[in-house]
Amino acid sequence: MTVSTQIRVRYAETDQMGVVYYANYLVWFELGRVEFLRALGFDYSRMETEEQCILPVVEASCRYRAPARYDDQIRIEAFPLLLRGSVLKFGYRILRESGDASTLLAEGETVHVVCDPSMQRRTLPESVTEKIRSAVAEHAATNK
């Protein structure tokens, strides 16, 4: 399962050269991840407050393929790659949309350890686990 989110590059996200500043791709990864969870029926802020469950990033990587620029229409794709115990890994693709064509701008991953608010490792609630495992399997089957 892949969830797509569309945004337009804002001027504040660019550097002096008119290119999107590299760290903003990680912000876009977060946006994609939150929208992925929302598409599964989970509100991340409610997971934090009601389920006492947070997902700190413990590793992040990004491979830059082409520059994004001010006012580009981009699509953020987010998908789950792994759920093992309290470790959760997401993948991302950032694409520029231009007419009928898409250009891959960046791709990457984030790894999370499921924790309680005191940063002690825990597992995801079973309702969340089932849906994410199903989404991992669906993504793996469609991307062989």
> pLDDT truncated to tens, each residue of the chain (144 aa)?
899 999 999 999 999 888 999 999 999 999 999 999 999 988 888 888 888 899 999 999 999 999 999 999 999 999 999 999 999 999 999 999 988 889 999 999 999 999 999 999 999 888 888 999 999 999 888 887
What pLDDT was estimated at residue 76?
A: 98
What pLDDT was estimated at residue 45?
A: 86
Of the residues 15, 43, 71, 116, which is catalytic?
15
- Domains located in the chain, CATH noted: 3-142 (3.10.129.10)
Task: Identify whether 43 is a catalytic site residue.
Answer: no
Six-digit token pair at 6?
């569309």
Q: Are 60 and 113 in contact (CB under 8 A)?
A: no
DSSP for the chain reads --EEEEEE--GGGB-TTSBB-TTHHHHHHHHHHHHHHHHTT--HHHHHHHS--B--EEEEEEEE-S--BTT-EEEEEEEEEEEETTEEEEEEEEEEEETTEEEEEEEEEEEEE-B-TTS-B-PPPHHHHHHHHHHHHHHHHHT-
Distance CA(61)–CA(64), nearest Å, equals: 10
What pLDDT was estimated at residue 69?
A: 95
